[in-house]
Structure 1
Amino acid sequence: MFNPGPEVTVDERLLPFRGKCPFRQYIPSKPGKYGIKIWAACDAKNSYAWNLQIYTGKAASGIPEKNQGKRVVLDMTTGLQGHNITCDNFFTSFELGQELLRRKLTMVGTMKKNKPELPAERKEGQGSTFLKTAAELTYHSVHIISNTKSILAGILLSQPCLSTNQTSHSRNPIQAT
Structure 2
Amino acid sequence: MKALLALHLCMGLVEKAEIEDYWAEFWPTYTPGFGKVMSWNRFEIILSFLHFANNNEYVGRGQPGHDRLFKVRPVIDLIIPQFSAVYGPLKELSLDEMTIAFKGKSTLKQYNPKKPDKYGYKVFVLSEASSGDVLQLSMYTGQNADADLGATHLIVRQLMAQNTGKGHEVYMDSYYTSPAIANDSASNDTGMCGTVNCKRSGMPKCLRQTELPLSNGDDPVFMRHDKLLACAWHDTKCLTILSSLYGNSRPETYQVKAKRHWFS
Please classify the TM superposition score into its range, dividing by the shorter chain length: 0.7 to 0.9
The higher relative CO (CA closer than 8 Å, separation ≥ 6) is in 1
Q: Secondary structure at the match of 2:155?
A: helix
Match of 1:19 among 95, 104, 107: 104
Q: Which residue of 2 aligns with 1:102?
A: 187
Q: Secondary structure at the match of 1:79?
A: helix
Give the paired residue count. 158
Q: Unpaired segments of 5 or more residues in structure 1?
A: 60-65, 127-136
Query: How big is the shift at 1:140?
Result: 1.8
Q: Distance between the aligned counterparts of 1:38 and 1:69, measured in 2?
A: 13
Q: Distance between the aligned counterparts of 2:188 and 2:242, measured in 1?
A: 17
Q: Which residue of 2 aligns with 1:133?
A: none
Q: Which residue of 2 aligns with 1:158?
A: 235
Q: 1:159 to 1:114 in 2, by over 3 A?
A: farther
Q: Which residue of 1 aligns with 2:212?
A: 125
Question: Does the Cα contact within 8 Å between 1:84 and 1:106 map onto a contact in 2?
Answer: yes
Question: Does the Cα contact within 8 Å between 1:139 and 1:154 map onto a contact in 2?
Answer: no
Q: Does 1:114 align with 2:191?
A: no
Question: Does the Cα contact within 8 Å between 2:92 and 2:170 map onto a contact in 1?
Answer: yes
Q: Distance between the aligned counterparts of 1:109 and 1:22, measured in 2?
A: 32
Q: What is the one-letter code of the residue matched to 2:235?
A: S
TM-score by length of 2: 0.54
Superimposed CA distance per residue, residues 121-153 of structure 1 (whole angstroms, 9 cap, x where no aligned partner): 322239xxxxxxxxxx765222223xxx22211
Q: Which residue of 2 aligns with 1:85?
A: 170
TM-score by length of 1: 0.79
Comparing both structures, which one devotes a greater share of its residues to strand? Answer: 1
Q: Unpaired segments of 5 or more residues in structure 2?
A: 1-85, 253-262
Query: How big is the shift at 1:105?
Result: 0.5
Bigger CA radius of gyration: 2
Q: Secondary structure at the match of 1:77?
A: helix
Q: Which residue of 1 aligns with 2:75?
A: none
Q: Which residue of 2 aligns with 1:28?
A: 113
Q: 1:172 to 1:115 in 2, by over 3 A?
A: same
Question: Does the Cα contact within 8 Å between 2:231 and 2:240 map onto a contact in 1?
Answer: yes
Q: Secondary structure at the match of 2:183?
A: helix
Q: Does 1:174 align with 2:251?
A: yes
Comparing both structures, which one devotes a greater share of its residues to helix? Answer: 2
